[in-house]
A = this chain, B = another copy of it.
Amino acid sequence: MKVKREQWETNFSEWFRNVISRSEYYDYRYPVKGTGVWRPLGMRLRRNILNIMRRLLEDTGHDEVLFPTLIPETLIRRESEHIKKFEEEIFWVTRGGKESLTSRLALRPTSETAIMEMFRLWIHAHTDLPVKIYQVVSVFRCETKATAPLIRVREISTFKEAHTAHKTREEAEQQVKDAIKIYKKFFDDLCIPYLISLRPEWDKFAGAVYTIAFDTILPDGKTLQIGTVHYLGTNFSQVFEVTYLTPEGKHEYVHTTSYGISERVVAAIISVHGDDHGIVLPPNVAPIQVVIIPIIYGDGEEILKACRDIYEKMKKKGYSVVLDDRSDITPGEKYYYWELRGVPLRIEVGPRDLKEDTVTIVKRDTLERTTIPKNEITVFIETEFENIKRRLKERAWKWFNSRVTRSRNISDATRLLDEKKGIVEVPWCGGKKCGLQIEERTNSNILGYDIDPNLSDATGEKCVNCGGEAKYWTRVSKRY
């Protein structure tokens, strides 16, 4: 059986909404615009993904914390660039019970201001540094654009934000590099392809010195920002007066960074690996890794017993396994049901398997069917999980790379972007005016250029807008 990806590619938005709801991963019918409910399977995928992130962060010295959801208006207004950007999007709590609150409270759109307020209380001397903390929380943005489940939401329910404070610019910038390494490992483990770009000045995080972002490409050719890393310099520490005493007895401002990911990672993993049958997932994060389906004609007690044995063996091995012994639906309906839900391996046991002491295994990613001796199951699964992960990664990167092109010409670039080609790199002089004109002329966005000069250097090229000397190959895309 050949894997079909027609709906997936030609009608992605509908495919995506269909798949996440019919698979019972996520329900966006909840009656508040731009919010949704994580159902059990989606929640387990979310948890498996967050566990990878937690391990990466804690292995590199980050401690988990939890801050309040509400930020007083006076606090969030303190950093002027910050509030300017977020002001339009803040949900305000103005009443408690039947009373008006004396001062309004913001549902946090991000936590820098709340965290800096506490950093001031926690950080005194150089021995208190560095501080590296993270939390996984809901943040809220009153999006005025059209919302999309998991992608553009008003309650970001899976915001992992890390915040760090350091003695010097050098140390903080080293932390930015470390954060990028962490995120690379994270997305690599999820088999999600990405490019890393230094965002242009006009698109950096509100209050940052600079912002570096991870983008992937969804099947419709639009890019999705799936992670950001900000160097905040002393912009926040000056306003919040977060200083430390140096060994020489001087007071210096701390340098801070912040970096975050959200449920867009879940949207991305579902999007980049899926097909017309539904969800496809790397086995390391799949909520259910193996499903066992008895193929019964007449009395199936022996087959059921064989299935139960396999089930127990899988459970003992620590796999997340389901034995689907429902008797009111056919095996075919079960295939459909579990393919939609992205279970990496399906084990079928029928009369012939019983007789020949075999099982039939179907791989979700290729839908390929193999019969193997029953006593080889464990080794087969272990190996095949690695194979599936490798194949998904290869397929995703291959597709991704086919959607990244270079162009030296605005109308050519515009055509490629209109044809949903993903990311187009064009030579750019680096000037803001040219940047904004490129965005306007291509009716797209500048993502920025790669942080690796080997990849972004455009010496010898001419700016696609002004014709002057180009500095960078900058990336342009339609984006979410």
Contacts and interface: CB of A to CB of B under 8 A. Distances in A.
Given A30-B118, A90-B97, A35 B66 contact: no
Contacts of A104: 95
B87 A117 contact: no
A311 to B, nearest CB: 17
A241 to B, nearest CB: 14
Contact of A63 (B27, B40, B88): B40
Interface string A98-117: 10000011010000001001
Contact of A40 (B46, B121, B133): B133
A87 to B, nearest CB: 7
A65 interface: yes
Copies in the complex: 2
A1 interface: no
A39 interface: yes
Nearest to A138: B69
B68 A121 contact: no
Given A30-B118, A87-B97, A127-B328, 15 more contacts: A29-B121, A30-B117, A32-B70, A32-B71, A32-B72, A35-B70, A40-B65, A69-B69, A69-B140, A70-B155, A87-B98, A88-B97, A89-B96, A91-B105, A96-B142
Interface of A: 27, 29-32, 35-40, 43-44, 46-47, 63-72, 75, 87-98, 104-105, 107, 114, 117-118, 121-122, 127, 133, 138, 140, 142, 144, 155, 157, 328
The 8 A-B residue pairs with the shortest CB-CB distance in the complex, in nearest-first order: A96-B142, A40-B63, A35-B68, A38-B66, A92-B95, A88-B97, A94-B94, A43-B64
